[in-house]
Amino acid sequence: MKRLILFVWLLLFYQQSSAGNIQQFGMIGDLKLQSGKILNDCKIGYRTFGSLNQERTNAILYPTWFAGVSKDVVGLLGADKLIDTTHYFIIIVDALGNGVSTSPTNYSDEIPFPEITIRDMVESEYKVVKNILGFDHLFAVIGGSMGSMQVFEFVAAYPDFMDKAIPYSSSPKVTSNDKIIFSLMKEIILSGKKYEEPENEILKKLNIIIQLLARTPANINKNYPDEKFSELAKKFERTSPIFTTACYLTQIDAMFTHDITRNFNSTFEETAKRIKAKLFIIVSETDLLLNPKPALDFAAVTKAKTLLLKNDCGHLAIGCELDLCRTEIQKFLDEK
């Protein structure tokens, strides 16, 4: 019997350590949402990288950002990238609604896709990590943009589940300014559907908004002077076969209600009492897509390590200072 248990453990260890860049799925069954509704036969996509140590203490969870899929995150992993996979076992998880995990595009046509929240994303990811992959505890959780929302939600919902957390381009709750942007995107989709506008034309308008707000005007003008505008305009046409306007609406609605203080007297002070993980909060001073103030305010209350990026790259600031961010993240992960 002992040999059988050892064999099963070694098989699981080998599978997790050698999975590489393979799209995998965790079938977690029916997921009860915060609304009380049920997301039937829920599946969550994930990919794993690096090697899990014998003690299973080097696992880091990396939820995807808005409109992102696990494959997109791969470029940030490696010895000279944001997270060093030679030291850590990385689990990239596809957030609900991204077209890979359970989403409007792959859900039953007979049942309307219910509204979900960031907390619902976290609940689904927790089930994969704990019930499918067998982790009772993680070393860290990291994520950017909407991924950072999941990180903040994780540390509040499951304070004993991780040692460290790194939300970047981050926010523990959205502001009215953020909601204006989300509302504009949602209105473009709904009005487009109302007047039977082609899907690609609606997505093109959404891409224009993203290009407008992802970086600062100074950065756009520097990288795309007048003679190169045609190169920038080509990005307006990019669409994804799996991240449709229905997926847009699903994740926009989830972000619109994001607020980790909602169960803690709606204050950062009460919420901070819940947090046990060590936090390293990275924000961009010039972020136009996600207001950095709530993250900075929460960092002050929790006395979290903070990195305020002051370049002109806006929401994409971490990519413009990747060496600095990699170094600071590694220092944080190395701290006892």
Alpha-carbon distances, residue 33 vs 115, 116, 117, 254 (angstroms): 9, 7, 8, 12
Q: Model-level pTM?
A: 0.94
Strand 24-32 to 278-284 pairing: unpaired
| CB 50 within 8 Å of CB 89 | yes
For residue 90, the SS3 value is strand
- The DSSP 8-state label assigned to residue 101 in this structure reads S
Edge-to-edge order in the sheet of strand 24-32: 24-32, 38-49, 89-93, 59-63, 138-144, 162-168, 278-284, 305-309
- What the chain holds in terms of domains, given with CATH numbers, is 2-177+252-334 (3.40.50.1820), 178-251 (no CATH)
For residue 309, the SS3 value is strand
Residues of the chain scoring pLDDT < 70: 1-20
> Which pLDDT belongs to residue 19?
59
| 92 membership: H or E segment, kind and range | strand 89-93
> Which pLDDT belongs to residue 14?
47
